[in-house]
Amino acid sequence: MLKGIFMEGKIKKETIGPLISFMEKSKTPWGIKDRESRFIYMNSAALHFGNLPKNFNPEGLFDSDFPAEWSELSTQFIEHDRLAEKTGDHIEIIQTHYFYGSKTLEPYLCEKFPIYNEIGECIGTANFSKKLKTASRLDLINNVSPSVIFTTPPNNMFTQKELEIIFFSINRLTAKEIAKRFNISHRTIENRLQVIYNKAGVNSVNGLTEFCISCGLNQYVPPNLLHKEIKII
């Protein structure tokens, strides 16, 4: 499957050969992509996860090329490939779709890692997916369509606490409702929201929502909230 890519000299076999050997034996869905987000490898578990034929060859394909419904999320997948490469560390996203051929939308946690060659150059990304152990619905997110939610913010503009307030605010919780979750006064939340508005260059929740959509923060869920059993759609 990998002969063509190795012969082109883009990725040396000895660099990812041991990684592929590990993935082949794993029952967890694993995949490898190059720097352009073209697939280099998917193990059998990943083919099953993606509802693809056992003999399907993903080599050289982009997410959008796959004969599967989840290919409609390709743009978001590629954005997160770039984010993993940029940060130089693993990132986590929550992808919701009809995986394993299911007729029900289900959330899976996908972790992506940059891969480096022998001289420290990033040559692509590796990823694996696993079923979320949280409940299957997120009361605060009203979009039940296929989606990708991630737990790494797209920029460093806001503090962690501000990101949590933003999450609740754009999901239409009032300052008083947010204050109850943090066990602080609603005036404190209002003051922090004003700081957030100033950073974003807006003056209302609607403006903040539009700002978040423009930079991708509308897809962000603070990881500590997931740990507290916030439900994912």
Give start-end residues of each CATH 1.10.10.10 domain in the chain: 160-215
Residue 146: per-residue pLDDT = 54
Residue 7: per-residue pLDDT = 35
Cα separation values, 69 from 59, 79, 101, 143, 148, Å = 19, 18, 9, 17, 13
CB 126 within 8 Å of CB 37: no
Does 173 have pLDDT greater than 70?
yes
User: Which run of H or E residues covers position 106?
Assistant: strand 106-116
Q: What is the mean pLDDT of residues 146-161?
A: 81
Give start-end residues of each CATH 3.30.450.20 domain in the chain: 3-150
Q: How far apart are CA 108 and CA 158, in angstroms?
A: 26
- Band of the pLDDT at 132, cuts 50, 70, 90? confident
Q: How far apart are CA 208 and CA 160, in angstroms?
A: 16
Number of C-beta neighbours around residue 53 at 10 A: 9
Token readout for 26 is 């794993």
Per-residue HEC secondary structure of 38-58 comes to CEEEECHHHHHHCCCCCCCCC
CATH topology for 160-215?
Answer: Arc Repressor Mutant, subunit A (1.10.10)
Q: How far apart are CA 42 and CA 117, in angstroms?
A: 19
Q: What is the mean pLDDT of residues 142-168?
A: 79
Q: Which residue has the higher pLDDT, 4 or 163?
A: 163
Strands 122-131 and 106-116, how do they pair? Answer: antiparallel
Q: Measure CA 65 to chain center.
A: 19
Residue 139 makes CB contacts below 8 A (sequence gap 6+) with 231
The string of pLDDT tens digits covering residues 142-153 is 444 555 677 778
* Residue carrying the six token digits 């939340």: 189
Q: Mean pLDDT in the chain? A: 83
Q: Which residues face 108 on adjacent strands?
A: 95, 131
Q: Which residue has the higher pLDDT, 27 or 104?
A: 27
Q: Which of 20-24, 126-130, 168-172, 223-227 has the lowest mean pLDDT?
A: 223-227
pTM: 0.61
The string of pLDDT tens digits covering residues 25-77 is 999 999 999 999 999 999 999 999 999 998 999 999 999 999 998 999 899 89
Q: Give the homologous superfamily in CATH for domain 3-150.
A: PAS domain (3.30.450.20)
Residue 206 makes CB contacts below 8 A (sequence gap 6+) with none
Q: How far apart are CA 34 and CA 49, in angstroms?
A: 20
The string of pLDDT tens digits covering residues 180-223 is 989 999 999 999 999 999 999 999 999 999 999 899 888 888 87
- Band of the pLDDT at 225, cuts 50, 70, 90? low
